[in-house]
Structures are given as structure tokens and as C-alpha cells.
Amino acid sequence: MLSIGWLVLLVNYTKGQHVNSINPGAAWPDVNGVHIQAHGGGVIKIGKVYYWYGEQRALGLDKSQRYVSCYSSNDLMHWKFSGNALQLSDPENLGPGWVLERPKVYYNSKTQKYVMYFHLDNSSYKLARVGIAVSEDPAGPFTYAKNFRPLDHESRDIGQFIDDDGTAYLVFEDRPFGFRIARLSDDYMSLDKEMCLIKAHMEGGAIVHFNGLYYAIGSALTGWKANPNKYATAKSLEGPWSDFKDIAPPEKNTYGAQSTMMLKIVGTKQTTVIYMGDIWKPNTQWASTYLWMPIEIGEGKLWLPEPKPWTLDLKSGKYEYITK
């Protein structure tokens, strides 16, 4: 049975049309009508262009390789597939079922290189390392450089945070201890300073800096199964961090999504923060969808409203729900 989302995708595809909105949870056709493959991903802005990187999980790929896709957009609604930015064979003899997840790309203006971080693991998730690949072009090809445990800590899910002053950070889940935030070195090829350890067992970590306060969100450790994502706040990345609170009614399990990033859009009239999450379909990963929604944020509170279609005006920063 085709779900409504896939039906909409099919209809749009046949009509050769594109959707002028963001439809949380529905199939998201790129400008060629093909469902976007950028799972566990992240978005960066270079000049006027947004790039969305993520796990490429399309059917029919070489199963021994792992792929990171790259899409570009001028409005965050219409995305053009620029190909797979990274295509990698098992770099460390990790064996079948090796894992490359949650890729995040940083642009280093000093070296003028794009540096991709990803979670590298074996099939039992025991390696717990980050891998790095580098490119001179945002769309790749990225060349594999190395892997390590950030500041010697275990690292599974990773998240990306770039502060308003341009400083780049990695958020990573260190299973025995919690959720760490560390600063990238000058050339982004390593981590040079641990900012803090939040002693909460959270993954899918993401941070946003909004009106003088840092907001961190994450999910509980339930694998592909959705759980109630939570947030904490702090005046400085070093903490102290508040306790974690729900971002949505807990019984909704974050509307089936798991956090991957928060994207801040500073417009002429409004600053909008977008919650970006994945709605995983573990048995049909290629059909996993995305939950992107503007959140209600400010004065220490963060709330993810019930998902509904919306549209964004990048210039003003304003968003609108679409009412039929």
C-alpha cells in the first residue's frame, strides 16, 4: 500500500512539479522528483547556497560501500542532488555491515577546504570513532583522511554546531559518560578543546545559540525507534546546563522523529530555528523521511509544535503554516 506521502510524490513526479513547502514526514522529492536521501544529515550555508549532506541509503547501491549525498538549495525547500560527495570502501577492515553515519560538513575558510566528519563503526558499534574526509569543492569528491576517537573518548552519534562567531564544534555521544561538546582545531582536522560533558545519555545531539542562550537537544538511546527528544539550556557551552525537558508531549515520541540538527535562519524580520529530524524506517531505510519544523524558542523554552506543512521566506526569516 502506498502511503499518502508517496502518493503525493508520485503525483508531483508525474506532473513534473515541485512542492513549494516543507511537508514534515512526507516523501520529499528533490527537483527531479526523487525522494531525498540525506538521512542523519546536516545543512551548511556557503555564500547564498545551502548544502544538505546525509546518509545516502538509496536502493541498488554497492553494498560494500558507504555513500554521503550532497544536495543544494537556495530556499531550503527545493533541493538539487549534486551527487554523492563521498563514496567509501571499508577503510579499516571493519567487515560487512560496517557503519558510516551522521555525516556533517564544515567549511574551513583558512584552508579553504570542506571537512566532513562522520561516525565510523563496525556492525556491532564497538569501534565508536569519527572518520574525516576532505574536499576542495562542497559537492566533493571527498577523500578519506583518517579516523580517531575524539579527545580519546568513545563517539557514536555526532552533531555539528557552528557558533555565531564562526567557531566550529562537534557534539558526540560518549556512551559511558554522556554528551560531549568539543571545539575543532584551526584546520578542523582534529578537536582541540573539550567544552563540556553533559552527563545525560543522549544522542542525535544538536545545539543552537539563540538570544544569548545555548539550547542543546538530543534523543534517548533507543536505536531507530523514536523517543521523546529533550532539551537543556546554558549561558555558555561550558555549562552549567539545565536539566533536560521535553520538546513535545512525551507520548508523541517526537512525532516519530529523532533530532539531527537545529538550523538558525536569521532574516530581516525574524529569526527562525528549524528542528531537523529523521523519521527512520529501519527495514526500508531509503524511505525514511524527515521532520523539519520551525520551533518555538526563547527565554529558556523550546517547543516543537505538532508537524504540519509550512513554507519559509528566507529573506524575512518568516515562516507560515499552509492551511488548505
Contact residues toward ligand GAL (CB under 6 A) are 40, 101-102, 157, 203-204, 223-224, 258
What are 136's three cell numbers? 576542495
* Shortest separation between residue 290's beta carbon and ligand GAL, angstroms: 14
Minimum CB distance to ligand GAL smaller for 29 or for 41: 41
* Shortest separation between residue 31's beta carbon and ligand GAL, angstroms: 27
Q: Residue 320: how many CA atoms within 13 Å on its side-chain side? A: 6
* Shortest separation between residue 258's beta carbon and ligand GAL, angstroms: 6
Burial string for 228-251 (b: 16+ CB within 10 Å, else e) reads bbbbbbbeebebebeebebbbeee
Minimum CB distance to ligand GAL smaller for 285 or for 311: 285
CB-closest chain residue to ligand GAL: 223
* Shortest separation between residue 146's beta carbon and ligand GAL, angstroms: 21
Minimum CB distance to ligand GAL smaller for 225 or for 315: 225
CA distance 69 to 67: 6
CA distance 29 to 26: 9
* Shortest separation between residue 151's beta carbon and ligand GAL, angstroms: 21
Burial string for 288-300 (b: 16+ CB within 10 Å, else e) reads bbbbbbbbebeee
What are 174's three cell numbers? 560518549
Minimum CB distance to ligand GAL smaller for 41 or for 138: 41
Minimum CB distance to ligand GAL smaller for 42 or for 309: 42
Residue 323's identity, in one-letter code, is T
